[in-house]
Amino acid sequence: MALLKILRDPDPTLRKTSRPVDAITPRIRVLIEDMKDTLRKAEGVGLAAPQVGVLRRVVIVDMGKGKLQEFINPEIIYTEGKQEEVEGCLSCPGKAGIVERPAVVTVRALNVQGQTFEATGTELIARCFCHELDHLDGVLYIDKVKEMLDPEEN
C-alpha cells in the first residue's frame, strides 16, 4: 500500500465536514489500507480521512496491541463520565493541550465488510474516538483545549 501525506493545521481541508461513505468500494478499501499504513508509520493512535485530504467519514483507531480498526460512517451512541487529559494531533505537530472528554465512549460504525458493529473505549481509546470523529466535522482538538502546554514540557 501507500503512505499518505498528513495535512497540517491550518490546511483548510481540516476544517471541512466529511461526507458519508455511500458504498464500500475498492477505492474506499484502498484508502483504509493506506490510512492504516500511514498511521503505523506516524506511530499515532488514530487517523481520520480528512487528515489525509479525503473528505469521507472514515477513521482508523489503534484499539491496542497494534490492532487497527476501521470505522466507516462512525457515530457516538453513548458517553459516560469525564476525563481531562493531554492530547496531541498528527495534524498539529509539536503542540499538546489539556482537553475534557467523556471517560467512556461507544461508537457505532461499519467495518470494511459493510457490517455494523459497536466498540466501547475508555481512557485513551475514548479520547481517540472523540478526537477522530471531531475531525470528520472539521473540528480540531485545539478548538476544545482548556490549556495549551509548553512544547518543551511534552
The pLDDT, as a whole number, for residue 96 is 95
Distance CA 6, CA 90 (A): 7
SS (H, E, C) the chain: CCCCCCCCCCCHHHHCCCECCCCCCHHHHHHHHHHHHHHHHHCCCEEEHHHHCCCECEEEEECCCCCEEEEEEEEEEEEECCEEEEECCCCCCCCCEEEEECCEEEEEEECCCCCEEEEEEEHHHHHHHHHHHHHHCCCCHHHCCCEECCHHHC
Whole-structure pTM value: 0.95
Distance CA 47, CA 128 (A): 9
Residue 38 has phi, psi (to 5 degrees) of: -65, -45
132 carries an active-site annotation = yes
- Dihedral angle of Cα 68, 49, 105, 86, to the nearest 10 degrees: 90
Paired with 79 in beta bridges are 105
Which pLDDT tens digits describe the chain residue by residue (154 residues)?
689 999 999 999 999 999 999 999 999 999 999 999 999 999 999 999 999 999 999 999 999 988 999 999 999 999 999 999 999 999 999 999 999 999 999 999 999 999 999 999 999 999 999 999 999 999 999 999 999 997 665 5
The CATH number of the structural domain formed by 12-153 is 3.90.45.10
Kindly state the cell numbers that stand for 15. 476544517
Distance CA 149, CA 3 (A): 30
Contact 7, 45 (CB under 8 A): no
Q: Which residue among the candidates 85, 123, 132, 152 is catalytic per the annotation? A: 132
CB atoms within 10 A of CB 139: 16
